Amino acid sequence: MTSPKRKDKIGIGLCTYRREIVRDTLASLAETLPPDLDICVIVADNDLEPSSEDRVRSVPLPFELHYLHAPAHNISIARNAVLDAAEAQDLDCLAFLDDDERALPGWLPALMAARRSEESAAAIGPVRAYHNDAAPEWMRAGHIHDTLAELDSEGRVRAGYTCNVLLDLKHPAVSGLRFDPEFGRSGGEDTIFFDQIKRRGGTLAYAPDAWLEEDVPAERATLSWLLRRRFRMGQTHAVLVSQGKTFAARMIELGRAGAKALACLGLSLGHVTDPLARNRNLMRAALHIGVVWRLAGGSRTEIYGGASADATHNTASRRNARGTTS
């Protein structure tokens, strides 16, 4: 008689930093995850002190919770603490979502089905963003803050992200892989991570029905915030396009990015009366300017921590994550 196949052991990982809304994230998992799955939740607190422990533990959960204190001000440290904990528990798969997102019914099963159907290293899902009434009309009409994967000609994801993903921890392209702490304060660590998966032979499946949702805070519902974000994304792209290239080849990439930036700025002028088209082109220009900046030797923009965290960052990077289970 053939023994029944063991259920996959699945972890749900999220990293948090002083966000009250993480309670809503955890509550959405409790309400929507199927009860027949073997699930645990791993939360990594990236603050210098374990400031989120009480709020995380205050949410009743129908599955095992692992709280980790993973200081400080470097998102890669927190993400790697979650990966370490998942591998220590011999989990088969690990999903990541952000601490300001909410899971919807069917989210995790849709990710699991997409990964299995293509035997991929990971499956990526979309995120729907909701603006309040104070957000500009062009921003709401264009769904600017939605996170949607760009697909290649075979329907696979070109560049992965951690705000909605399921990783196959047993896949050779994922096993042992970690997020680079060098990008843990500037952002882009997830782009580098998934680029490594693809370089190791892994593929990224798309799960179009695996929706998460989030509310856009007022400070992000501005053109200036979007331009800064695209500029930072351009810096990460510069790292990818310059890997293994000679100085001359990097200068060619710089010139190409500069030409694209100028073209996008010109297109924005041609749509001056159409806020959505104008601002989309401005955002594309900001991305290409970020590429130029980085290839020309400019420093990376830090979005985690900041100057106040400099004194503690190096020490915290060497500290092991401390965790407890409930």
The predicted-structure confidence for 295-308, as pLDDT tens digits, reads as follows 999 988 777 654 43
* Distance, C-alpha 245 to centroid of its chain: 27
Residues 158, 92, single domain; the answer is yes
- Name residues whose C-beta falls within 8 Å of residue 1's C-beta, 6 or more positions apart in sequence: none
Q: Nearest 5 degrees, angle CA 63-CA 193-CA 128?
A: 60
Final residue before a domain boundary, out of 172, 188, 218: 218
To which residue do tokens 């130029």 refer?
Answer: 292
Please give the Cα distance from 268 to 280 (Å, whole number).
8
Residues 204, 231, single domain; the answer is no
Residues 182, 161, single domain; the answer is yes
Residues 214, 229, single domain; the answer is no
Please give the Cα distance from 204 to 173 (Å, whole number).
11
Cβ 68 vs Cβ 322: under 8 Å: yes
- Name residues whose C-beta falls within 8 Å of residue 43's C-beta, 6 or more positions apart in sequence: 13, 14, 15, 16, 22, 26, 52, 56, 65, 66, 67, 68
User: Considering its fold, how many domains does the chain have in total?
Assistant: 2
Give the sign of the dihedral formed by CA 177, CA 178, CA 183, CA 186: positive
Residues 143, 258, single domain; the answer is no
For residue 3, being part of any structural domain is answered with: no
Phi and psi, residue 206, nearest 5°: -110, 135
Residues 114, 229, single domain; the answer is no
**195: pLDDT strictly greater than 60:** yes
Q: Which of 75, 313, 48 is nearest to 186 (CA)?
A: 75
- pLDDT confidence of residue 310: 36
Q: Give residue 323's pLDDT band: very low, low, confident or very high (50, 70, 90).
A: low
Please give the Cα distance from 98 to 110 (Å, whole number).
18
Final residue before a domain boundary, out of 218, 242, 263: 218
Q: Give residue 322's pLDDT band: very low, low, confident or very high (50, 70, 90).
A: very low
Residues 29, 124, single domain; the answer is yes
Q: What is the pLDDT of residues 67-78, one digit of tens each?
A: 999 998 899 999
Q: Give residue 309's pLDDT band: very low, low, confident or very high (50, 70, 90).
A: very low
Question: Coil, strand or helix: which one is 191?
Answer: helix
Q: Give residue 7's pLDDT band: very low, low, confident or very high (50, 70, 90).
A: confident
Residues 228, 210, single domain; the answer is no
Residues 20, 168, single domain; the answer is yes
For residue 314, being part of any structural domain is answered with: no
Residues 236, 209, single domain; the answer is no
Please give the Cα distance from 104 to 60 (Å, whole number).
18
For residue 326, being part of any structural domain is answered with: no
Q: Count how many residues are written for the chain.
A: 326
**314: pLDDT strictly greater than 60:** no
For residue 71, being part of any structural domain is answered with: yes
For residue 60, being part of any structural domain is answered with: yes
Q: Calculate the alpha carbon distances from 135 to 140, 147, 277, 283 in Å.
A: 7, 17, 17, 17
* Distance, C-alpha 247 to centroid of its chain: 30
Residues 170, 92, single domain; the answer is yes
Beta bridge partner(s), residue 215: 130
For residue 254, being part of any structural domain is answered with: yes
Q: Is the pTM of this model over 0.85?
A: yes
Alpha helix (H) ranges present in 10-74?
22-32, 53-57
CATH of the domain at 64: 3.90.550.10
Residues 97, 186, single domain; the answer is yes
% residues pLDDT > 70 (the chain): 91
The mean pLDDT of 180-207, rounded to a whole number, is: 94
Please give the Cα distance from 193 to 177 (Å, whole number).
8
For residue 78, being part of any structural domain is answered with: yes
Cβ 92 vs Cβ 78: under 8 Å: no
- pLDDT confidence of residue 304: 60
% residues pLDDT > 90 (the chain): 85
The mean pLDDT of 108-132, rounded to a whole number, is: 97
Burial of 54 (0-12, 13-18, 19+ CB in 10 A): exposed
Boundaries of domain holding 295: 223-307
For residue 321, being part of any structural domain is answered with: no
* Distance, C-alpha 197 to centroid of its chain: 15
Cβ 102 vs Cβ 214: under 8 Å: yes
What would the two tokens of residue 324 be?
């407890």
